Amino acid sequence: MKISDAESVVMEALWRRSPLAAEEIAAQVAQPQGWTEATVKTLINRLLKKKAVAAAKDGRRYLYSPLAARADYLAQQSHGLVDRLFDGRLAPLVSHFSQTRKLSAEDVAELKKLIGELDQ
């Protein structure tokens, strides 16, 4: 399932806490994004059609919960990025970040630790 950048903002709100009503989602995401409540509701409807979220009736409103797991979304997005920009290879991605000085000392330490764990 493809989730757009805008839809992912709504999903992040639901991954943080759910279930939420449309108004609660809008209260979290609309103002920082410069969106109206109607825009948020449109995004929710798109996510419903994609079966990324579920809706449960709660009186006169609906409460929304994610059906897609955040870990699955992250895996899809990260694999897509590596495939699109680095021919499916992770080493060129890391190399790119090291060449553009986007790796902190903490990042380098974590990468060394991960490589050490892989070697074992």
102 pLDDT exceeds 80?
Answer: no
Q: Which among 49, 66, 83 is the end of a domain? A: 66
Domain that holds residue 86: 70-119
The model scores a pTM over 0.85: no
Reported as a pLDDT band with limits 50, 70 and 90, residue 16 is very high
CA distance 8 to 77: 11
8 pLDDT exceeds 80?
Answer: yes
Give me the CATH number covering residue 33: 1.10.10.10
Of all residues in the chain, the percent with pLDDT exceeding 70 is: 100
Order of strands across the sheet with 53-58?
Answer: 20-21, 61-66, 53-58
